A and B are shown apart, each in its own frame.
Chain A
């Protein structure tokens, strides 16, 4: 079995479209949540979101190419290009033939669906753009990334709502570990900020009107976000041989299903996924110094995740540093796990724990060290990144210092 490392990162995020800006914002607890401006708000009550306002598609694609790409696929391709450039990998034809592309997204081209339906149902247009289906399909992002980079090995989309990105990285890790692919580009992408899909989220009554305050007593719900994160995974042997920079090693991956409620997180199911990841990593709970939590900022999730962490970590839960990146990034759905795995890898590389931003007041139901508002330099040997999806699908990664 190969050891697998992360040798390249790329991000499109509400706090910047460059890894350095992304990491700085996380460390400085600078939130990317702001007034919703990408879509008309007359028919919405939502006024805030975490939008990638710095992203300018025309800088990356010519018109001909852009016409094929929904916003989520644009994010995916640009982040993947960044990750490949960052890894400095020379993709020979032989390497390309077996290289994997595994991407997670909760839905497909949501902007395309919204625009097309508005035109067809709302404006009675008799026609729909001929490339609507290629833009909209669930696998649009992974196909566009494989086309753009010329990756010709295993390629598929994983969809598990808010755990999609984590499942994708986990599966890519398994492909490289077992030697089925020499390298993999893996991550998540989502562009869910359309009037139609925001309206659907409002109906579920879980969106905050204030901001995202994970684990804080005053938390009031989640905030939708958009973006993508991609990483290059390769064997540690290859990375060392070519003198590549390494962010972190992927040590283990664990999954579980709650097989219970469609929306509420089950602490037992979440703890089982953490156990599975620890066991896969052959790591003791006491070796984990930092957990990047799912931490959505809804009262129910954060309470249940706290219980799950206590269950999985036992006595060492009290010395564990836990933070959620969602106060800074919003909840980027299928990309959330990928952005947070990137944050976790950067935490290991920089030996710095990014804080939980927007934290105001301790909650007796959430009684762990949530690293409120201020980053902490601390030795991090191993770290965990948690994703728990609607539908009870849980995915957990364990990463190690490079």
Chain B
């Protein structure tokens, strides 16, 4: 299974949403994922691929910048998260 499919499968299992609906442009918060859901998904991905995804719970939710403008969450979409996992898996294979 390709990395992207594995990522989708793990998200699908965690959020109980069929894989067909989990396209890369979908935002995790729009899918109803709360901070703890995302932390669990990250853990499953780390276990699956034996990688370390360094992100804090703080950065998983949108916030406001100093000027009051909206600051985007890290890994806000499935595509963002997949890209990060692919990068880490490739970096591990290159070692």
Contact = CB atoms under 8 A, between A and B. Distances in A.
Do A and B belong to a common assembly? Answer: yes
Interface of A: 203-207, 217, 220-221, 261-264, 298-300, 303, 361-365
B55 to A, nearest CB: 7
A45 B36 CA distance: 20
17 contacts: A204-B39, A205-B39, A205-B42, A205-B56, A205-B60, A207-B56, A261-B34, A261-B36, A264-B35, A298-B57, A299-B58, A299-B61, A300-B58, A300-B61, A303-B63, A362-B66, A363-B66
A363 B63 CA distance: 11
B64 interface: yes
Return the 8 tightest CB-CB contacts between A and B, nearest first: A205-B57, A299-B58, A205-B56, A206-B57, A364-B68, A365-B64, A364-B64, A217-B66
Interface of B: 34-36, 39, 42-43, 55-58, 60-61, 63-64, 66, 68
B63 A205 contact: no
A300 B36 contact: no
A221 B56 contact: yes
Nearest to A262: B36
A206 to B, nearest CB: 5
Contacts of B61: 299-300
Nearest to B35: A264
A206 B64 contact: no
Contact of A206 (B34, B43, B58, B63): B58
A206 B55 CA distance: 10
Contacts of B55: 205
Nearest to B36: A263
Given A205-B57, A220-B58, A364-B68, A263 B35 contact: yes
B38 to A, nearest CB: 9
B56 A206 contact: yes
A22 B43 CA distance: 39
A204 B57 CA distance: 7
A217 B67 CA distance: 11
Nearest to B46: A203
Given A263-B35, A364-B68, A365-B64, A221 B43 contact: no
Nearest to A361: B66
Contacts of A263: 35-36
Nearest to B43: A203
Given A221-B56, A263-B35, A300-B61, A364 B43 contact: no
Given A220-B56, A303-B63, 8 more contacts: A204-B39, A205-B57, A221-B57, A298-B57, A298-B58, A299-B61, A300-B57, A365-B64
Nearest to A206: B57
Nearest to A263: B36
A362 B36 CA distance: 27
Nearest to B68: A364
Contacts of A203: 39, 43
A54 B55 CA distance: 34
Most buried by A among B57, B60, B63, B66: B57
A38 B28 CA distance: 39
